[in-house]
Structure 1
Amino acid sequence: MAKKKIVIEPSWSFKDETGQRVDPRLFQLLKAIDNHKKLTEAAKYIGLSYRHAWNLIRRWSDFFGVDLVKLEKGRGAHLTPLGEKLVWAEQRVMARFQPQMTNLASELNKEIQHSLASIEPLLTLQASHGYAVELLPALSQSINIQLDLHYSSPTEALIALNKGRCDIAGFHKPVDIDVPAQLAKYQPYLKPRSHKLIRFITRQQGLMVKPDNPFAIHAITDLQREDIRFINREDNSGTRALFDQLLQNAGIAPQDIQGYDNHEYTHSAIAAYIAAGMADVGFGVEQAAVQFGLDFIPICREEYLLVCHQQKLKSAVVQAFIEGLKSDVFKAQVSQLAGYSATDSGTITDLIDI
């Protein structure tokens, strides 16, 4: 029997007072127009005829009462300000809610697998959302194990490991920057006698800014300027803890940063927020900046680490997972992510090595 996999993707749903709903293909078409700059190529890309695509645009421009696309002879097709806002709105909702949707899909997939006659070895992993972590479901399929992946904060992941709710937990810490408050939260759940570290990846953290850096932002200290709007991560995330430590090291009070109390839940959501023009700068990984066409100012590197009980480390499913992390295929995939490296991926070390 073929394996069944459920994927849940959030999306916007617009309707008017009569209950008329916007065709979801409109968002696909608008994104394709933004990428290809020609209606003919955009229509072909999403599998529509030119006439059908044009009717779709005209119909939903009438729905909103404003043009969504502007066609100019010799210049192709371009999104209007509302068209751009709709594209960014969809990208923001995808970026913000992807971790929650992945958690729900993981639970559904586990139930589906349990109902089938042949169940693959199950590995439960709890970790914070990240671009390299997103590669793990495909890796698990390639090595014939079932991955039950749940996104959570690093502290929640470590608590789950200690309560037996997961086999592997993920957390991250910066390289060459001490974060005592962050490590103090982790310490009660890290047990050197019974836990082992599995090296995962390193990634570059820094400031994401608008293309060409119009506000000339070059350092954390620039965030104090009154003309700069910042977007932060939620207060229980590892990235937020790192950012707060950087502020403390620089002698900057949070209240001196406009937007410090505004937050999003993923690196990609931060980047989407800036790309939509709702903020000028945010803190996160380089890949998020690249994904949304932003400039990036590197600040520090960070290790993403996995923790496992020594006894579980000997199991066939964990050993298969570790071999997958060591594989050239996985390392090559990670190398395609801007600012990421998997040089030591799959290496086992003691907790005292962090």
Structure 2
Amino acid sequence: MTYKFRARLDTEWVLEKPDGSSFVLSDVLRLLASIESLGHIAGACRACNVSYRHAWGLLRHAEKELERPLLETSRRQGTKLTRFAQQLLWANRRIDVRLAPVLDGMTGALQEELQALYTESRPRLRMHASHGFAVEGLMQAVDSQEAPSIELRYRTAIEALASLNRGECDLAGFQVPVGEFQDPILQHYKPWLDPEKHSLIYLAQRETGFFVQPGNPRSIRTVADLGQPGVRFVNRQVGSSTRLLVSLMLRQKGIDPTRIQGFDTSEFTHLAVAAHIVGGMADVGVGVETAAWRCGLDFIPLAKERYFFAVQRDSLSSPLMRQFIDLLLGDSYQSFVGQLAGYDATGLGKVLSPREAFETAFDPLSKAA
């Protein structure tokens, strides 16, 4: 018997009251999100598959429990969320995107345990990679197609490459900026990238930059602007390639990171950084353009980055790896990555050697090697 199911873990808001009873917010939050998106309750009811009467009952009960109004209605503008409801919704989104890597990692471990209970488990590839939109879409493509099962663990680039060298994963995701910061970033990866043992599977090129409020009220243009008085910054986590890139840019400008308010404030995903900005907790953050677009934020480009999967060269001929590459080359996934804001899918699925990908950076005669 083959195990055919995929485990999933979800979050749920539960507010516990002083008397020990609890108030579950999940249905209310889903309804508020639909009202925000559609602009009226009737459409939100259809989207959430609840009756109009039931929806109003949920909302009125929530307003009573929270002691705050959630909706503003008018004939001209329809139904809008109050400022309190908007903040509540964005607090929930921040929690969701913060927990996504943690839950996905726990889900992967649970999946392994479930599969081990079946004698004919489906073969799988082990992927360690940072959280991103192309990787997220890849997991969705695996679930919807006849493709090799992928066990995903979210890791920083260096952690992923180190795992590949220890034999703990089959695919290690990492990104490298195009241009002047390519070689400095590669210096951090070189201990775990061997041009004699490893090959690279190219995923895509993406735009990385700053997220700011619409209209860019703080006039953020370059990394030097992060040091302006009163500008609040939110960074990526320690060890991430994005954080390393920002640090290199600051060093080039001679700027001390300790002068930047919020430099040590960090999030684990691009969407979590964007949610930080939308929620008014920071003025500027850093990540890929897709997150800014999805959250309605303005985007200031800083660098183009190429994303690769490193693999053991001798694994390329294995049936599972060939199926994986075929999935990347397929029209469905190519189309998905191509429509992501800030992504360029040209060359997606191409297999390269480290020397082909980075030219002289892996030249044994170069000073950097």
Q: TM-score range by the shorter chain?
A: over 0.9
Q: Report the 3-state secondary structure (helix = DSSP H, G, I; strand = E; otherwise coil) of the residue aligned with 2:199.
A: strand
Q: Report the 3-state secondary structure (helix = DSSP H, G, I; strand = E; otherwise coil) of the residue aligned with 1:45.
A: helix
Q: Tell me, yes or no, if the aligned pair for 1:140 and 1:321 is still in contact at 8 Å.
A: no
One of 188, 191, 204 as aligned partner of 2:191: 188
Query: Who is 1:320 aligned against?
Result: 323
Query: Who is 1:172 aligned against?
Result: 175
One of 286, 291, 295 as aligned partner of 2:289: 286
CA distance in 2, matches of 1:281, 1:89: 18
Q: Which moved more, 1:7-16 or 1:44-53?
A: 7-16
Query: Who is 1:102 aligned against?
Result: 104
Query: Who is 2:347 aligned against?
Result: 344
Deviation of the 1:124 alpha carbon = 0.6
CA distance in 1, matches of 2:196, 2:8: 38
> Structure 1 counterpart of 2:14, which letter?
S
> Structure 2 counterpart of 1:302, which letter?
E
CA offsets per residue over residues 49-104 of structure 1, 9 Å max, x none? 11111111111111011112222343321111211111001100111110111111
Query: Who is 1:76 aligned against?
Result: 78
> Structure 2 counterpart of 1:288, which letter?
A
Q: Report the 3-state secondary structure (helix = DSSP H, G, I; strand = E; otherwise coil) of the residue aligned with 2:293.
A: helix
> Structure 2 counterpart of 1:96, which letter?
R
One of 330, 334, 343 as aligned partner of 1:331: 334
Query: Who is 1:263 aligned against?
Result: 266
Q: 1:12 to 1:182 in 2, by over 3 A?
A: farther
Identical amino acids, percent of aligned pairs: 36
Q: Tell me, yes or no, if the aligned pair for 1:33 and 1:77 is still in contact at 8 Å.
A: yes
One of 205, 209, 233 as aligned partner of 2:212: 209
Does residue 14 of the first structure (1) align with residue 18 of the second (2)? no
Query: Who is 2:52 aligned against?
Result: 50
Does residue 298 of the first structure (1) align with residue 301 of the second (2)? yes
Q: Report the 3-state secondary structure (helix = DSSP H, G, I; strand = E; otherwise coil) of the residue aligned with 2:210.
A: strand
Q: Tell me, yes or no, if the aligned pair for 1:143 and 1:320 is still in contact at 8 Å.
A: no
CA distance in 2, matches of 1:118, 1:177: 49
Q: Which moved more, 1:307-316 or 1:111-120?
A: 111-120
CA distance in 2, matches of 1:181, 1:252: 17
Query: Who is 2:225 aligned against?
Result: 222
CA distance in 2, matches of 1:112, 1:225: 52
Deviation of the 1:186 alpha carbon = 1.4
CA distance in 1, matches of 2:165, 2:27: 45
Q: Report the 3-state secondary structure (helix = DSSP H, G, I; strand = E; otherwise coil) of the residue aligned with 2:209.
A: strand
Deviation of the 1:24 alpha carbon = 1.3
> Structure 1 counterpart of 2:10, which letter?
E
Deviation of the 1:179 alpha carbon = 5.1
One of 235, 239, 262 as aligned partner of 2:238: 235
Q: Report the 3-state secondary structure (helix = DSSP H, G, I; strand = E; otherwise coil) of the residue aligned with 1:252.
A: coil
Name structure 1 gaps, 5 residues minimum: none
Does residue 26 of the first structure (1) align with residue 28 of the second (2)? yes
Name structure 2 gaps, 5 residues minimum: 359-369
Query: Who is 1:36 aligned against?
Result: 38
CA offsets per residue over residues 124-144 of structure 1, 9 Å max, x none? 111111110011223334133
TM-score, structure 1 as length reference: 0.95
TM-score, structure 2 as length reference: 0.92
> Structure 1 counterpart of 2:126, which letter?
T
Q: CA RMSD for the aligned pairs?
A: 1.6
Does residue 253 of the first structure (1) align with residue 256 of the second (2)? yes
CA distance in 2, matches of 1:255, 1:126: 31
Q: Tell me, yes or no, if the aligned pair for 2:3 and 2:121 is still in contact at 8 Å.
A: no
CA offsets per residue over residues 123-175 of structure 1, 9 Å max, x none? 11111111100112233341331111111111111111111111111111100
5 Å-filtered alignment, 1:52-201, equals: 52-141=54-143, 142-178=145-181, 182-201=185-204
Q: How many residues align?
A: 354
